[in-house]
A = this chain, B = another copy of it.
């Protein structure tokens, strides 16, 4: 550290951010130090505060600076519904879709044997405990529709069938994305959309 200047250390640290290459890190550092020292101080403090204060919610694994996260502690959410997602980012996109008013459970990853992530690396035991709470009536599995996400969904389905047979287990729908044209949608997705067709209701 003694021979590395503050600027080089800043550029090097910025490069560790996901998606930031050497050129972008350099540009950011120069802009922050040339015309935007206030932003630099604010971001520096925000990072150190977040590292100090943010921890995992003990009920759902969400990031929070409270004892229990806002989704688990809210009194306006339905305790009978539990949505299982892979990551905090997945949970956020569901929140932003305004389509869910139940609770969440974050697996912190998905099954990925090639990367050494088996059932023991995920929070599956924690999930079974959570799904076993008496008020839970339905668990919605919202893992991704990738090979690994599907394998994770299957493993969860089997685990829940064994440990909490009274709980209904559902999977979010696979189908044509909103705004997509059939002609340009891949045949696998079209086949799934045909198989999963639903009776059209008047609403």
A contacts, CB < 8 Å to B: 5-7, 9-10, 12-14, 16-19, 24, 26-34, 36-37, 39-54, 63-66, 87-89, 92, 108
Taking CB atoms, residues of chain B closer than 8 Å to A18 are 27-28, 31
Taking CB atoms, residues of chain B closer than 8 Å to A49 are 6, 9-10
Taking CB atoms, residues of chain B closer than 8 Å to A65 are 5-7
Known: A30-B87, A33-B54, A37-B51. 16 other contacts (CB 8 A): A6-B49, A7-B63, A9-B49, A13-B46, A14-B46, A16-B39, A17-B39, A18-B28, A19-B27, A27-B89, A30-B89, A32-B47, A33-B63, A34-B88, A41-B51, A44-B48
A18 CB → nearest B CB, Å: 5
Cα distance A199–B14 in the bound complex, in angstroms: 45
Cα distance A202–B66 in the bound complex, in angstroms: 73
Taking CB atoms, residues of chain B closer than 8 Å to A37 are 51
Structural contact, A26 and B108, CB atoms closer than 8 A = no
How often does this chain occur in the complex, in copies? 2
The residue of chain B having its C-beta at the shortest distance from the C-beta of A18 within the complex is B31
Structural contact, A17 and B28, CB atoms closer than 8 A = yes
Cα distance A42–B43 in the bound complex, in angstroms: 12
User: Which A-B residue pairs are the 8 nearest by beta carbons?
Assistant: A44-B47, A44-B48, A13-B43, A13-B46, A6-B50, A16-B39, A10-B50, A6-B53
Cα distance A59–B107 in the bound complex, in angstroms: 56
Structural contact, A16 and B28, CB atoms closer than 8 A = no
Given A6-B54, A47-B47, A54-B6, decide whether A13 and B28 contact each other with a Cβ distance below 8 A: no
Structural contact, B43 and A17, CB atoms closer than 8 A = yes
Cα distance A36–B89 in the bound complex, in angstroms: 15
